[in-house]
Amino acid sequence: MKWFKSQRQEAVSPEAFTGFLIKITYDAVKDASQTLEKYLNAAERSKLPKVEEELLFFFVFALDYWIQTNTARTQEERRILRQAFHAHLANIAGGGNEGQAELDTYQERFTAYGQIVNEAKGDNAKFTGFGMKLSEFCGMPHALFLVLAPDLFTKALESVSKLKSVQLKLR
Whether 91 maps to a domain, the answer reads: yes
Grouping H, G, I as helix, E, B as strand and the rest as coil, residue 19 is helix
Compute CA distances 84 → 9, 28, 122, whole Å. 21, 20, 30
Whether 4 maps to a domain, the answer reads: no
Which residues of the chain form beta strands (DSSP E)? none
Q: What is the mean pLDDT of the segment spanning 89-108?
A: 79
pTM summary value: 0.86
pLDDT on residue 156: 92
Mean of pLDDT over the chain: 85
Q: Read off the pLDDT of residues 119-150 as tens digits, 9 standing for 90 and up.
A: 988 888 999 999 999 999 998 887 888 999 99
Residue 145 and residue 108: Cα distance in Å, rounded?
19
Whether 43 maps to a domain, the answer reads: yes
Residue 8 and residue 30: Cα distance in Å, rounded?
26
Whether 171 maps to a domain, the answer reads: no
The CA-based angle 57-38-124, given to 5 degrees, is 50
Whether 170 maps to a domain, the answer reads: no
Whether 159 maps to a domain, the answer reads: yes
Residue 163 and residue 143: Cα distance in Å, rounded?
32
- In the chain, the N- to C-terminal Cα span, in Å, equals 25
| Domain extent for 116 | 9-165
pLDDT on residue 5: 52
Contact indicator for 168, 14 with CB cutoff of 8 Å: yes
What total of structural domains would you count in the chain? 1
What are the phi and psi torsion angles at 100 (to 5°)?
A: -65, -40
Q: What is the mean pLDDT of the segment spanning 106-127?
A: 91
Compute CA distances 132 → 106, 116, 128, whole Å. 18, 10, 6
Q: Above 50 in pLDDT, residue 1?
A: no
% of residues, the chain, pLDDT over 70: 92
Whether 1 maps to a domain, the answer reads: no
Q: Which amino acid is at 46?
A: S
Whether 2 maps to a domain, the answer reads: no
Grouping H, G, I as helix, E, B as strand and the rest as coil, residue 1 is coil
